Each structure stands twice: as structure tokens, then as C-alpha cells.
Amino acid sequence: MKDFSKVFSQIAHLAQYSDSGTEKPEPLLLIGAHFLRGIILALVAGLTLWVVRHPILSPLLATVAVSLVRGFLLDWRDRLAPWRLLKLYFPGVGEGAHSAPEQYFRTSLMNWVILVRPALYFFILQNGCWYWLIPISVLAAAFGYELTSHSTSGKAEWQHWAAAVVITLLVLLAGKFQSTGLVYFPIGLLTCIAAWLLSTWMKRLPVRPQNLVNAVYLGELAVCLFFLIGIAF
């Protein structure tokens, strides 16, 4: 019982600070921390959708609530992640002298990039998929861990992906009690595969996030986008 309590306390601590340390936590603890965080965010979103019950206002308020709770849990440590990723992949943004139209475009891009993740969450919540915040959280953690891992033994690590995929499939199976649960199960499975393929490909690129916070943020964007593409088709 003491061992279980110790592990749970570690996971609860990582749920707040898993992405902030200089040393990466163990992969299973990282997935556990994001699983716990995903449960909290899903409950916040589900409760908001249940209370408000409006086709536009409800997902909008749920998105705001999720963003605020996430910021509180992370102590706003990922607030600079979108700009860091933008400068990582587009290093010329915001630097040097440019023509007026080009400078306007670059400035607008810097201002609007922070709204990409909330916009993706809005469309997901508009489809009533509040429980998908749990798979998004764990898959993003696996994605980020994959991008920032440096295996010295030459063996590929797989525990983080196995745990994330199992949690995702179990959540989607439980989602069959929702009217859309069984419809989205194959989409979730394809999302797991797509996220894994993208992370392994990006890991080989010369430019990639070295910080776990930025890598997990990028993973969230990718997983949300894959899921929305699945809904569209």
C-alpha cells in the first residue's frame, strides 16, 4: 500500500511538473502523469458541455475552461511553446527587415499562432468528444518523449507508445456509451499509428524540439489534427 501511495504521489506531482524538469522522467511515469492530467481536463470539458448545452457557446466555454485549468496545472510553463516552435521551424519569422506586406504577415503569424491549439480543441469539443482529451494527452506525451529521447543502447524504446495506445483504445472502447464512441474507434487507432510514424520520422530530422515541453505541445497539435482529419473523412 505504501508503494502504491508513493507511485501515485509521484504521478500526481508529475501531472503538474512533468514537462518542466531538466531531466526527463521515466516513460511510464510520464504517460501516467499525462493520463491523470487528461482525466482532469476531460472532466472539466465534459462538465462544461453538460452544464451549458449550446452548440457554439458550450464548446467555446469548454475550450476556455480547459485552457485555464491546463495553465494552472502546468503553472503556464508551456505558454511560450508555440512561438518557440514557430522560430524553430521558421527561423526568419520576426527577424530582419522586410517589406510592409511581408512584415504584416509575419507579425500576424506571431500573434495568431497561440490560438492554433485552442481552435483544434474547440472543433473536437464541438463534436462532443470531451473524453478524447485523455488520448490526446497521453499520445502527445508519447510523441514528445519520442522526439526528445536519445537511446544510448541502440534499442528503441516502446513502453511509452504501448502505454499510450492501450490507454487510447480503452478510452475509446469506453466511449461506446457515447453515441459516437464506436464510430471514432477506428479513427483513434489510425491516429495512434499516424502519431507514431510522424514522431519517428521527425526524430531523424536535423531540426526538432529538444525541450520536452515544446515536443509535447507539437504532439498535441499533431494528434488533434489527425483526429479532426479522421472526422472529416
* pLDDT at residue 83 in the model: 84
Apex CA 99: angle with CA 93 and CA 103, to 5°? Answer: 35
- Where does 79-178 have alpha helices with state H? 81-89, 100-112, 116-126, 133-148, 159-174
pLDDT digits (tens, 9 = 90+) for 80-99: 888 888 888 877 665 554 56
* pLDDT at residue 32 in the model: 92
Which residue ranges of the chain lie beneath pLDDT 70?
1-24, 92-107, 151-156, 176-183
- Cα 20 from Cα 77, distance rounded (Å): 7
Domain interval for residue 77: 2-232
pLDDT digits (tens, 9 = 90+) for 214-228: 999 999 999 999 999
Per-residue three-class SS string for 54-91: CCCHHHHHHHHHHHHHHHHHHCCCCCCHHHHHHHHHCC
> Is 183 within 8 Å of 203 (Cβ atoms)?
no
* pLDDT at residue 156 in the model: 63
**What is the domain count for the chain?**
1
Q: How far apart are the first and last CA of the chain?
A: 47
Show Cβ contacts of residue 212 under 8 Å, excluding neighbours closer than 6 positions.
Answer: 18, 19, 24, 144, 145, 148
